[in-house]
Structure 1
Amino acid sequence: MPSLQQFFSCLLLQENQQTYALLSTLDLHRVQYGNSGTVLWHHWAPTTYWSRPLWIIPIHCRTQQHWVLAVVSVEEKLIFVYDSFAELNAWESDLEDIMTLISKMMLLASQHEHPISTKDPQGSWETYPLFQGSPQQHNTHDCGVWVLCMIAAILRGFSGVSIQEGQMPQVRQLFAQLLYRFPEYARRR
C-alpha cells in the first residue's frame, strides 16, 4: 500500500477512467425517494456508467447520519460495502435500496439501448464487507473522509488504505491542498 503522501499525490495523475463509474450519492437518494424512471434516466443519460465494469457509490445513510461506500462489480454481480465503523447493521438497511438502484440502472440502460452484461444473468448478487483488515474510526466525524480515502485507494487499484485514525488531520490537510490545486489541475487537462 502507498504511503500517505504517495497516496494523495497519485490522485492528481490520470486514472483509468474506462474502468469505473463514480456515482453520485444522490443517485441512491433518488431511488429511495421513488423517482420515476424518466427522472432517473434524465440524470443518468449524460453518463456512461453502463460501459464501466466497476461502479463506486458513496452512500449517506440517512438514519445513522453516516457515510459508507458500495463498490459494485457489475460483470461479477458482486457488491462490496465499506463502513469505517465496521458495523454490518449500519448499511444492511440500505442494501435493499442499493439493489433497487442497480436494478433500475440496468433496466433503464437496456431500455435505452445500452445493455449491461453480467457473467451469469440468472445468478443472484452477492454482498461482502470491505472492512475486514481496514482502519476503523472511533469518533463520529471522520466517516466521510474515510470514504474519500477508500474511493481514492480503489481508483488507484488498491483494496484498502494503510492510514491510521491519528493521521486524519494530515489527511484533511492533503485533501484541502488537492482541492486548492484543482483549478490548476483542471487547466492542464
Structure 2
Amino acid sequence: MSIDGFPWQTFLLGDINILTSPHAQLNDTCINGCATLLYSAFLPNAASCAILSTHDLPRIRFNAEDDTLWRNLSWTRFWEKSIRILPIHRSLPVGHWVLCTIDFHSQQLFLFDSLAEQKPWRNDVKDITQLICRLSSLATQRLGTTHRDHGDWTAHPVLLEPRQTNGYDCGVWVLAQMAAVLRGYEVTGIEECNISRFRHYLCVLILRIAALG
C-alpha cells in the first residue's frame, strides 16, 4: 500500500503474524510499515516530522554513495522537516530496537531505549551525526538549501529507568515512542502492562488500510 507520500508498503502474512504474536520481536518490515501508518494516523501534526528507514543508518555505516542515499531519502523531503525520526537496530549482543529523534531547532538528539541503556549509544551517536552531515550536504548539492547541521549537537537519553522487562517488545516500544513524537510529545506514556494493547492497535491500523485497499 502507498499512503501520504510514502513508498509502497507490503505486509506479508508472516509480518502480520509477527505483529499478532504477543512474544515476537518485530522485523524491519513491521517497523517501517507501521511507521508509515502512524504518520498518516497523526497528520497534520506529524507533518513536521520526517520518518527515516531502519536501513538508513546502515547505509551510512557502509559508506553508501550519494545517489543511493538520495534515491532512498529524497521522498521524505527531510530538508523541510524540523524533526527526523530514526529507528535503529542493534544486532549485538542480541537483537534490539532503539529510536533517535533528531531535533534541528534545538540541535539535540533524543535517545530512546526501552531498556534505558546508555553506553551502546556512543557508536550510534557518531554515526547519526555523520548521517545528519551527509543529508545536509546532499540537500545543499541537489537543491541549493542552506546547511542545517551547523553548531554542536548534544545527545540526551529519554529514559533513565527501563520500561521493558522482557526480550521481545523493543520494536513495539520504538513504535510507541514514535507515535508520541509524531503527536508532539517527548516520551510515550505507555506502561509495560499496556504495551500489548499498542501492539493490537498496530494490527488494527494494518487491517483497516487493507480493508480500504
TM-score above 0.5, yes or no: yes
- Calculate the TM-score normalised by the size of structure 1: 0.83
Match of 2:171 among 137, 144, 168: 144
Contact 1:61 1:94 in 2 (8 A): no
* Counterpart Cα distance in 2 of 1:159 and 1:76: 13
Match of 2:16 in 1: none
Contact 1:50 1:116 in 2 (8 A): no
* Alignment-mate amino acid for residue 127 of structure 2: D
Match of 1:115 in 2: 145
Gaps of 5+ in 1: 1-8
- 2:206 pairs with 1:179: yes
* Counterpart Cα distance in 2 of 1:33 and 1:173: 35
Per-residue Cα deviation, 1:81-123 (whole angstroms, up to 9, x for no partner): 10000000132221111111111011111111252454x83x2
Q: Secondary structure at the match of 1:18?
A: helix
Question: What's the CA shift for 1:11?
Answer: 7.1
* Counterpart Cα distance in 1 of 2:74 and 2:42: 27
Match of 1:36 in 2: 65
* Counterpart Cα distance in 2 of 1:97 and 1:89: 15
Shift in CA distance, 104/183, structure 1 to aligned 2, threshold 3 Å = same
Match of 2:158 among 119, 124, 130: 130
* Counterpart Cα distance in 1 of 2:145 and 2:114: 34
Gaps of 5+ in 2: 1-37
Match of 1:47 among 41, 58, 76: 76
CA RMSD of aligned residues (A): 2.3
* Counterpart Cα distance in 1 of 2:39 and 2:128: 29
Q: Which moved more, 1:25-34 or 1:141-150?
A: 25-34
Q: Secondary structure at the match of 2:168?
A: coil
Shift in CA distance, 152/41, structure 1 to aligned 2, threshold 3 Å = same
Match of 1:69 among 88, 99, 103: 99
* Counterpart Cα distance in 1 of 2:77 and 2:203: 29
Q: Secondary structure at the match of 1:59?
A: strand
Shift in CA distance, 53/138, structure 1 to aligned 2, threshold 3 Å = same
Match of 1:22 among 51, 57, 71: 51
Question: What's the CA shift for 1:169?
Answer: 2.2
Instruction: Count residues in correspondence.
Output: 175
- Calculate the TM-score normalised by the size of structure 2: 0.74
Question: What's the CA shift for 1:13?
Answer: 4.8
* Counterpart Cα distance in 1 of 2:118 and 2:193: 24
Match of 2:121 in 1: 91
Contact 2:52 2:73 in 1 (8 A): no
* Alignment-mate amino acid for residue 36 of structure 1: E
Identity %, equivalent residues: 33
